[in-house]
Amino acid sequence: MKVNGKPYRSIWDEDGLVKVIDQRWLPHDFRIATLIDLDGFATAIRDMWVRGAPLIGATAAYGMAHAMTTSPTDTTLTAAYDRLIDTRPTAINLKWALDRCRATLSDTPEPQRAATALTLARAIADEDVEINRRIGEYGFEIIEKIAAQKQPGDPVRLLTHCNAGWIATVDWGTATSPMYQAADKGIDLHVWVDETRPRNQGALTSWELGSHGISHSYITDNAGGHLMQHGLVDMVITGTDRTTATGDVCNKIGTYLKALAAHDNGVPFYVALPSPTIDWTVSDGIRDIPIEDRDPREVSHVLGTGPNGIDSVRVTPPDSPVANPAFDVTPARLVTGLITERGVVAPHDLKSLFPEHA
């Protein structure tokens, strides 16, 4: 997507260097970072310079490619895998990408490993773009049906949580791809964007939607239920960090509460789900998906911009302990449909779209 009129992906390689949009500073400042060693890749994922399940996977693949340029041995392969795998435990795309890289590279003779690893990282990035483009097409069909029942001047009102946008993927985004495609085809939209404390990824979503000219309002995390009760939400659409084979959806903390409110108000709750985000080994998301317990400072402090530039301020009493579970699980029964690159499916039927995993 475009930033100040120039097309970008969230990660790319250029002249032998891997570059990313450093998301820590958005929406206040647009900065690009160069990842120069394996520590840099691990730090960028762990400390959320890059974030969002698909982008975490693509960054890990580029990290493996970098490791192979330093030393294409089995020892380096294992060390790079081990270094990267623990950086963000919840998003399954990390493991998916690392497993794919390790399997391919183990079967590749050492002299060819660096080139093969780079080709694979690029392929993973390109595939992500295509997957999200297709998710957008299927999601667009849902939005189009809602739009067909609207009066002129009454926009389709969507609600989204966190940032499942183009900067959380390589391009397009998952939950935002249908929005971009609907807006590009002239559908009148308004998007309610959950703030998504503690890290306020809603500000990233607002930045994205604003850059694309899509009407939106940044709302507190507590506002969604009220808006649904008053008929002001036609559809909720979120991303996911890991979805089980049975359709339980793990996503950013607070997603579950939105699903409950949607269920209570008869609002359809859709999840945009690229297939690399499916964990086919897990059937009970609440029991089996590890939930990141993140830095308490993300809750006790808020980053913003003021007269002295970008700054972080404390919002809690200095001695109050803080808890920071970063994700929650929405049970499949609360999910209307999963929008995948192969089509839209009821959560319990996910395997029907992916018979190779049945």
Nearest to 10 by CA among 40, 84, 18, 327: 18
Binding to ligand MRU by CB under 6 A, coded x per residue (else -) over 183-222, reads ------------------x---------------------
Q: Check: CB of residue 161 under 8 Å from CB of residue 258.
A: yes
Is 53 one of the binding residues for ligand MRU (CB under 6 A)? Answer: yes
We find the least distance from the C-beta atom of residue 50 to ligand MRU, in angstroms, to be 8
- CA–CA gap between residue 298 and residue 207 (Å, rounded): 20
- Please indicate whether residue 39 is annotated as part of the active site: no
Q: Pick one of 240, 243, 330, 336: the residue that binds ligand MRU (CB under 6 A).
A: 240
What residues does 99 pair with on adjacent strands?
A: none
Per-residue buried b or exposed e for 336-351, using 16+ beta carbons within 10 Å of the residue's own CB: bbbbbbeebbebeebb
Phi, psi of 287 (to 5 degrees): -80, -40
Nearer to ligand MRU, 190 or 252 (CB): 252
DSSP string, 253-281: TTHHHHHHHHHHHT--EEEE--GGGEETT
> Which span (33-41, 79-87, 103-111, 168-176) binds ligand MRU, by CB under 6 A?
168-176
> Which span (49-57, 62-70, 112-120, 183-191) binds ligand MRU, by CB under 6 A?
49-57
Q: Pick one of 117, 162, 183, 219: the residue that binds ligand MRU (CB under 6 A).
A: 162
Is 87 one of the binding residues for ligand MRU (CB under 6 A)? Answer: no
> Which span (35-43, 116-124, 166-174, 295-303) binds ligand MRU, by CB under 6 A?
166-174
The length of the chain in residues reads 358
- Within 8 A by CB and 6+ apart from 178, the residues are 135, 136, 138, 139, 140, 142, 143, 237, 272, 339
We find the least distance from the C-beta atom of residue 239 to ligand MRU, in angstroms, to be 3
Nearer to ligand MRU, 54 or 224 (CB): 54
Is 135 one of the binding residues for ligand MRU (CB under 6 A)? Answer: no
Q: Check: CB of residue 326 under 8 Å from CB of residue 291.
A: yes
User: 3-state DSSP call for residue 88?
Assistant: coil
Nearest to 136 by CA among 354, 349, 339: 339
Q: Pick one of 9, 19, 51, 113: the residue that binds ligand MRU (CB under 6 A).
A: 51
Nearer to ligand MRU, 114 or 271 (CB): 271
We find the least distance from the C-beta atom of residue 111 to ligand MRU, in angstroms, to be 36
Is 164 one of the binding residues for ligand MRU (CB under 6 A)? Answer: yes
We find the least distance from the C-beta atom of residue 264 to ligand MRU, in angstroms, to be 22
Is 328 one of the binding residues for ligand MRU (CB under 6 A)? Answer: no
Residue nearest to ligand MRU (CB): 239
- CA–CA gap between residue 259 and residue 207 (Å, rounded): 24
We find the least distance from the C-beta atom of residue 334 to ligand MRU, in angstroms, to be 16
Pinpoint the alpha helices (H) of the chain.
Answer: 38-46, 53-70, 74-85, 92-106, 110-148, 176-184, 201-211, 224-229, 255-265, 285-288, 297-300, 350-353
- CA–CA gap between residue 108 and residue 318 (Å, rounded): 54
Chain residues binding ligand MRU by CB under 6 A are: 51-54, 91, 162, 164, 168-169, 173-174, 201, 239-241, 251-252, 326
Q: Which residues are catalytic?
A: 241
